């Protein structure tokens, strides 16, 4: 017979089935995933090495199984420490998972970036029995990131560090210098007239020139020196570990010499020069921002001093810059908050003593500084782009005043307005002027304009076009400070002008006769020429059919001389100081009462 026992193994079979299924799923996943799957036993020998692991690292499963982690070229030397630290953490049960990005060698010796996701596998009692690793080759991502990082910190044209990286490097340099108590030199270099190269030879040649300039400067520096291109034609050099006191000067000269040597670019021989400013740590600043700002200020001064040279930063230079900035801000406010005023100085016809013109002279009552004269802020306004706004204010105020005086029955007073260089260049000035005149009910002939020769030098043709248009509107034009600018007689012949104003410097020297003790002034040379110049200008004006006004007449002898020479009009403290509008009006009225015009007195 037979004997049978049976037991219910359904549970067991289901579990087995389940296990098999899980295993199949896992294996399918392991084989299909783009990740390399690896497993290490507790002795850190490889017990699993998937097909994807082979394609990422190059070794086959048969070459790697049973191999320990160390002892072959899989780990990149610099990253070994961090990998063993991570494995220790997993093995000792401190961590369950750990992700690490590091470099690995491939079988062919090349280096790849790999992201490792590791998990500790445990048995029922919780003991770690192996480590499962899923790994991914992220080299192309890392390269893209490196590339992006490079692009964000370097200049695309020259591959030099840009201002972002310069700041980092400079900060690092300064903290080293602080510890080592050493000095650092920061240099700011700007090419002179680089725009001309771009304009005449094109941007391509301009770009090639910049590349060549940066190559030459780089070659003139030590490896540890930083050279950065921070914008167009501006470079910054940072020198640390200065070998001696003279090193910065020496390097500055070397850089400028390199820039000055002619460049051969696409068949063109190009000559450029540079202006360089130097600031030293710690004396000229202890943080990167101040040092860069001061090197920049010194560079500007090198430009002002005629370019093609270098300047070291000095405290006065810094103070001047700071002063400029304060004035600029204050002037912006002044325009808004009614701090500007016009003063008026009479211009007297010498023959009969009549006053038919007044020069409008700008004054600024700064609540912080008191009265500021135009020399203290007009050049600055011009530099900072406030010239238009100031000019507009003056035109508006002057035309309103001209109207007001006509309305008040003060006579046919012509208001003489000084025009600046930027107003002459401003294409919108004419339209603005017409609108202003209309708004204020002022006839063009009630104004006269004064322009200095120097304000026209940049573009005589352009200026003379504007002057012709002003004249066509019905205004008279005077050349101010005549004799101190370029005084080209050929220009004078063609410029549309009506009046010459002889500069006060010549008038002041009228009485310095040749042979007198006081004829040589170390600053002004031979002053005795004053009288000769004044009479020459008067003669010249007469020959050209122009009116002449002598400025700065302070003494009766000067007025007598001018009268004898046939000068038409005079202006100066002898007659009257510049006065606020109401005082000018009062002055003119009392004068009319006290002193009838000479002509009438002569005939009566």
**Rounded to an integer, what distance in angstroms lies between the CA atom of residue 554 and that of residue 506?**
12
User: Least distance in Å: CB of 426 to ligand C2E?
Assistant: 12
Query: Which of 240, 296, 426, 480: binder of Mg ion (CB under 5 A)?
Result: 480
**Interface positions, 423-452, toward Mg ion (CB under 5 A):** 450
Asked if residues 403 and 442 have their Cβ atoms less than 8 Å apart, the reply is yes
**Interface positions, 560-579, toward ligand C2E (CB under 6 A):** 571-573, 578
Measured at the alpha carbon of residue 387, what is the angle toward residues 306 and 273, in degrees to the nearest 5?
20
User: Least distance in Å: CB of 394 to ligand C2E?
Assistant: 4
Q: Is there binding between residue 453 and Mg ion (CB under 5 A)?
A: no
Looking at the Cβ atoms of 483 and 572, the one nearer to ligand C2E is 572
Query: Which of 69, 238, 297, 378: binder of ligand C2E (CB under 6 A)?
Result: 378
Q: Which three-class secondary structure state does DSSP give residue 236? A: strand
Q: Is there binding between residue 365 and ligand C2E (CB under 6 A)?
A: no
Contacts of 586 (CB under 8 A, 6+ apart): none
- Report what 161 binds from ligand C2E, Mg ion, none; CB cut-off 5-8 Å by kind: none
CA distances from 479 to 273, 394, 533 (A): 36, 18, 16
End-to-end Cα separation, the chain, in angstroms:
174
Q: Is there binding between residue 345 and ligand C2E (CB under 6 A)?
A: yes
Helix (H) or strand (E) holding 494: helix 489-494
Give alpha helix (H) positions in 33-64.
51-57, 61-64
Q: Is there binding between residue 386 and ligand C2E (CB under 6 A)?
A: no
Q: Is there binding between residue 504 and ligand C2E (CB under 6 A)?
A: yes
Q: What's the distance, CA 234 to chain centroid?
A: 10
> What are the residues facing 103 on neighbouring strands?
113
Find the length of the chain. 604
Looking at the Cβ atoms of 64 and 418, the one nearer to ligand C2E is 418
Looking at the Cβ atoms of 132 and 550, the one nearer to Mg ion is 550
Looking at the Cβ atoms of 293 and 388, the one nearer to ligand C2E is 388
Looking at the Cβ atoms of 137 and 481, the one nearer to Mg ion is 481
Looking at the Cβ atoms of 399 and 418, the one nearer to ligand C2E is 418
> Read out DSSP for 93-128?
TS-SEEEEEEEEE-TTS-EEEEEEEEEEEE-TTS-E
Cα torsion at 309, 311, 317, 322 (round to 10°)? 80
**Interface positions, 544-563, toward ligand C2E (CB under 6 A):** 551-554
Site size toward Mg ion, by CB under 5 A: 5
User: Least distance in Å: CB of 552 to ligand C2E?
Assistant: 4
- Report what 578 binds from Mg ion, ligand C2E, none; CB cut-off 5-8 Å by kind: ligand C2E
Looking at the Cβ atoms of 225 and 426, the one nearer to ligand C2E is 426
Sheet with 184-192, edge to edge strand ranges: 226-231, 234-239, 184-192, 273-281, 309-312
**Rounded to an integer, what distance in angstroms lies between the CA atom of residue 82 and that of residue 138?**
18
Applying CB under 6 A, the residues found at the interface with ligand C2E are: 345, 361-362, 373-375, 378, 394, 418-420, 450, 480-481, 504, 551-554, 571-573, 578
Applying CB under 5 A, the residues found at the interface with Mg ion are: 418, 450, 480-481, 551
């Amino acid at each position: 017979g037979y004997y049978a026992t049976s037991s219910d193994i359904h549970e067991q079979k289901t579990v087995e089935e389940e296990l098999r299924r899980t295993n199949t799923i896992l294996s399918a996943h392991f084989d299909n995933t783009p990740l390399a799957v690896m497993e290490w036993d507790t002795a850190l020998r490889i017990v699993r090495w998937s097909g994807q692991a082979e394609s990422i690292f190059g070794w086959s499963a048969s070459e790697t199984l049973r191999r320990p982690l160390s002892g072959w070229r899989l780990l990149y030397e610099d990253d070994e420490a961090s990998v063993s630290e991570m494995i220790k953490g997993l093995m000792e049960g401190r961590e369950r998972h750990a992700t690490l990005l590091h470099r690995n060698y491939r079988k062919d010796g090349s280096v790849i970036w790999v992201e490792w996701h590791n998990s500790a596998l445990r048995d029922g009692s919780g003991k770690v029995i192996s480590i499962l690793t899923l790994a991914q080759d992220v080299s192309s991502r890392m390269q893209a990131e490196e590339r992006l990082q490079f692009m964000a910190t370097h200049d695309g044209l020259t591959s030099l560090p840009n201002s972002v990286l310069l700041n980092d490097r400079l900060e690092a340099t300064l903290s080293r210098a602080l510890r080592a108590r050493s000095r650092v030199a920061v240099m700011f270099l700007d090419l002179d007239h680089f725009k001309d190269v771009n304009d005449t030879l094109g941007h391509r040649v301009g770009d090639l020139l910049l590349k060549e300039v940066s190559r030459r400067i780089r070659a003139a520096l030590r490896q540890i020196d930083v050279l950065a291109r921070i914008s167009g034609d501006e470079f910054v050099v940072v020198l640390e570990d200065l070998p001696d006191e003279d090193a910065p000067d020496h390097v500055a000269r070397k850089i400028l010499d390199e820039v000055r040597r002619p460049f051969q670019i696409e068949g063109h021989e190009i000559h450029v020069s540079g202006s360089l400013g130097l600031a030293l740590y710690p004396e000229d600043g202890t943080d990167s921002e101040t040092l860069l700002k001061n090197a920049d200020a010194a560079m500007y001064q090198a430009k002002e001093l005629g370019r093609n040279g270098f300047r070291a930063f000095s405290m006065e230079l810094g103070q001047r810059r700071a002063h400029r900035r304060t004035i600029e801000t204050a002037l912006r406010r002044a325009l808004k908050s009614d701090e500007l005023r016009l003063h008026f100085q009479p211009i007297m016809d010498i023959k009969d003593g009549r006053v038919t013109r007044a020069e409008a002279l700008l004054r600024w009552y700064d609540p912080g500084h008191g009265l500021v004269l135009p020399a203290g802020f007009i050049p600055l306004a011009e530099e900072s782009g406030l010239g238009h706004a100031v000019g507009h204010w003056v035109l508006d105020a002057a035309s309103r005043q001209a109207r007001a005086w006509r309305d008040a029955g003060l006579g046919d007073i012509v208001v003489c307005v000084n025009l600046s260089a930027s107003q002459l260049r401003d294409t919108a000035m004419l339209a603005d002027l017409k609108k202003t005149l209309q708004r204020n009910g002022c006839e063009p002939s009630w104004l006269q304009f004064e322009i200095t020769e120097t304000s026209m030098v940049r573009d005589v043709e352009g200026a003379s076009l504007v002057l012709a248009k002003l004249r066509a509107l019905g205004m008279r034009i005077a050349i101010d400070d005549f004799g101190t600018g370029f005084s080209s007689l050929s220009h004078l012949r063609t410029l549309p002008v009506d009046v010459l104003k002889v500069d006060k410097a010549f008038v002041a020297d009228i009485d310095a006769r040749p042979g007198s003790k006081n004829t040589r002034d170390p600053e002004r040379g031979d002053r005795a020429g004053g009288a000769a110049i004044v009479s020459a200008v008067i003669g010249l004006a007469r020959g050209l059919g122009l009116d002449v006004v002598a400025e700065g007449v302070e003494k009766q002898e000067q007025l007598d001389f001018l009268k004898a020479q046939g000068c038409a009009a005079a202006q100066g403290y002898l007659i009257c100081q510049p006065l606020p509008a109401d005082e000018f009006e009062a002055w003119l009225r009392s004068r009319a009462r006290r002193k009838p015009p000479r002509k009438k007195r002569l005939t009566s």
